[in-house]
């Protein structure tokens, strides 16, 4: 079943993806997210642009144009030092949040 993305979590997922895969273009990131979620994420490929610009404006990534293996040109996003730090913080925050929700749900049962 397709799920909606929680606000703010898309940024975290993109940061994580870049940390895992290294410099990547928007299509690569979108494909990876779809793949990881076993197509559960109802993600229009175009949805990730606002998130990408937001992350770039924060200085967490740096974009540069390059070529894919097939010779297509694409804009590659590279994680910066600040991006790595932000990833750690966002991950920590997500874990806390998820933990709280999880605990709450466990009590209710």
Partner 1 sequence: MAGWRRVIARLRSLLDNKSAEEDLAREVASHLTLLTDDFERRGMSPEEARLASRRAYGGVEQAKQAHRDERSLLWIEQTMQDLRYGLRTLRKSPGFTIPAVLTLALGVGACTAIFSLVNAVLIRSLPYGDPEHLVYLFSPNPSLKIPAEVICPSYGDFYDLKREAKSYVDMSNFEQAQFSVAQQGTTQRIGGARVDADFFSTLQSMPELGRTFAGEDNLQANTKVAVISHSLWVSMFGARPDALNRSIQLDGANYQIVGVMPPEFEYPFKSDLPYGDSDIKSTQIWVPLALNAQARTSRGIGNNVSFARLRSGVSIHQAQAEMAGIMARLDKEYEADPRDADAGLTREWGALVESFTGISIGPVRPLMRLLLAAVGLVLLIACGNVANLLLARAAERGRELGVRAALGAGRGRMVRQLLTESMLVGVGGCAVGIVLAVLFLRLLPKLDPGNIPRLNEASLDTRVFLVAIGGSLLTSLVAGLMPAIGTSRMELTEFLKSHAVRASSAGHSRLQSALIVAQTAMVVVLLAGAGLLIRSYINVESVDTGFTRSAVTFHVSLDQRYSKPEQHVAFYKDLMAKLEALPGVQAAGSVNYLPLTNSESLDFIYVDGFDNKDHQQTEGRDVTPHYFAAMNIPLVAGRYFTDADASATANRPVIINQKFAETFFPNRNPIGGRITGDPKRARWWTVVGVVTDVRHTSLEEEPQRQMYHASYDAGDASVAVRSTLPPATVANEIRVTLRSIDPKIAATNVLTMGDMVSIATARRRFQTSLLTVFAGIALIMALVGLSGLMRFSVNRRTREVGIRMALGAARRDVMLLILRNASVMVVLGVGLGLACTWIATRLLKSFLFGVGQHDPFTVVTVSVLLVVCGLIAAFVPARRAASIDPMQALRTE
**Nearer to partner 1 (CB atom), residue 13 or residue 52:** 52
Q: How many residues can be counted in the chain?
A: 109
Q: Does 53 bind partner 1 (CB under 8 A)?
A: yes
Under rule CB under 8 A, residue 5 binds partner 1: no
Task: Decide: 1 and 40 in contact? Cβ < 8 Å.
Answer: yes
The reply to whether 45 sits near partner 1 by the rule CB under 8 A is: yes
Among residue numbers 59 through 78, which ones bind partner 1 (CB under 8 A)? 59-60, 68, 70, 72-75
Residue 78: which residues within 8 A CB-CB, separation 6 or more? 18, 22, 23, 61, 62, 63, 64
Can you say whether residue 59 is alpha, beta or left, with left for phi > 0 and alpha for psi between -120 and 50 degrees?
left
Residues that bind partner 1 (CB under 8 A): 25-28, 30-31, 44-47, 49-50, 52-54, 56-60, 68, 70, 72-75, 82, 86
């Amino acid at each position: 079943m397709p799920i909606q993305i929680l606000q703010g979590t898309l940024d975290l997922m993109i940061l994580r993806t870049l940390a895992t895969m290294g410099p990547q273009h928007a299509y690569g990131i979108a494909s990876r997210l779809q793949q990881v979620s076993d197509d559960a994420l109802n993600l229009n490929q175009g949805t990730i642009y606002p998130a990408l610009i937001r992350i770039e404006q924060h200085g967490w990534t740096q974009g540069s144009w390059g070529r894919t293996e097939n010779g297509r040109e694409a804009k590659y996003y590279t994680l910066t030092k600040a991006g790595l730090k932000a990833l750690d913080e966002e991950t920590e925050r997500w874990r806390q949040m998820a933990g709280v929700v999880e605990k709450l749900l466990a009590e209710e049962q």
